[in-house]
Chain A
Amino acid sequence: MAGPAHPEAMAPPTPGRTRAAPPQMPSTWWSAKRIRTYILFDATGIIYFLIAFLGIRLINALGAGPEAWDAAMESLKNPIYIAFHLLTLVSVIFVAVRFFRLFPKAQPPAMGPMKPPPGPIIHGMLYVVWFGITAFMTAVLAGVIL
């Protein structure tokens, strides 16, 4: 991605007095570690798309009856599905870690009389809720409780 930025990026509203060279993006745009993390974060969007459509297929099978459901669950044993789900799990954890770090400071400093708790507390609370929901869902879906 080392290359030109949009030719009109940061262009003046009226042309300046001298000829200007067009804006460039930094030559290290793609290789910089932080930017790579950000690009990967956005790229997990593709995974979220796929996992949602896969889920819709499963729920349709669940609605269609026991045979369709058993066939759908059987198809998930395909190594390609297992690899995809492994990738999804990694993506979901990556999204959670990055997003939980960015979430607290995006809260408005005050909403009327209410003030959000300090950033580190929100950060910790997000992790507690995430672990809680995950543990509960895992236990329910795996048949440990309920």
Chain B
Amino acid sequence: MRALLLKIEPIIWLLFGQGILIGTMLLTGWVLVVGLLIPMGMVDASALSWDRAHGLATSWLFGVIPVGQLLLAALLVLPLWKGAHHVRSLLIDFGGAERDGAVGSLLYGVAAVGSVLAILAVVGL
């Protein structure tokens, strides 16, 4: 188990790094508006009515790039890998190196399943 983790570590680290960098940059505005300003009534809910939200999410840039779907996919997938990798290193720091093979695989497994779900959700728009 652990041997496999060590083999795929470069790609996991790459996803994790992008999770911190891109994930954080996209999440800030997302959480601010969707999670706080609209539910607290500071921004009118009509800004994200279904019509407008769906329109934004499925918008195309220059007719060739599905920019809304790409951004949403990045926003949902990358933080999962940041989460999995950081929770894994947190557990190692609290003495879990022996269980790392199983626990690490489980965490990355959850992130992988989440990524598939996220991509399915975005593609299904």
Interface residues of A (CB under 8 A from B): 1, 6, 39, 41-49, 51-53, 55-56, 58-60, 62-63, 65-66, 69-70, 73, 76-77, 81-82, 84-86, 88-89, 92-93, 95-96, 99, 103, 129-130, 133-138, 140-143, 146
Number of A-B residue pairs having CB atoms within 8 Å of each other in the complex: 173
State whether the Cβ of B109 lies closer than 8 Å to any Cβ in chain A: no
Chain B interface size, under 10 / 10 to 19 / 20 to 34 / 35 or more: 35 or more
Residues in A whose Cβ lies below 8 Å from that of B85: 45
Where chain B touches its partner, the secondary structure class is: helix
Residues in B whose Cβ lies below 8 Å from that of A136: 29
Show 25 A/B contacts (Cβ-Cβ < 8 Å), sorted by A.
A39-B90, A41-B86, A42-B87, A45-B83, A45-B84, A45-B87, A45-B90, A46-B87, A49-B84, A49-B110, A51-B31, A66-B51, A73-B39, A73-B48, A76-B35, A76-B38, A77-B39, A77-B40, A85-B35, A88-B35, A89-B31, A96-B24, A99-B24, A134-B25, A141-B34
Please give the distance in Å from A53's CB to the nearest CB on chain B. 6
Please give the distance in Å from B119's CB to the nearest CB on chain A. 10
Do A130 and B80 touch (CB < 8 A)? no
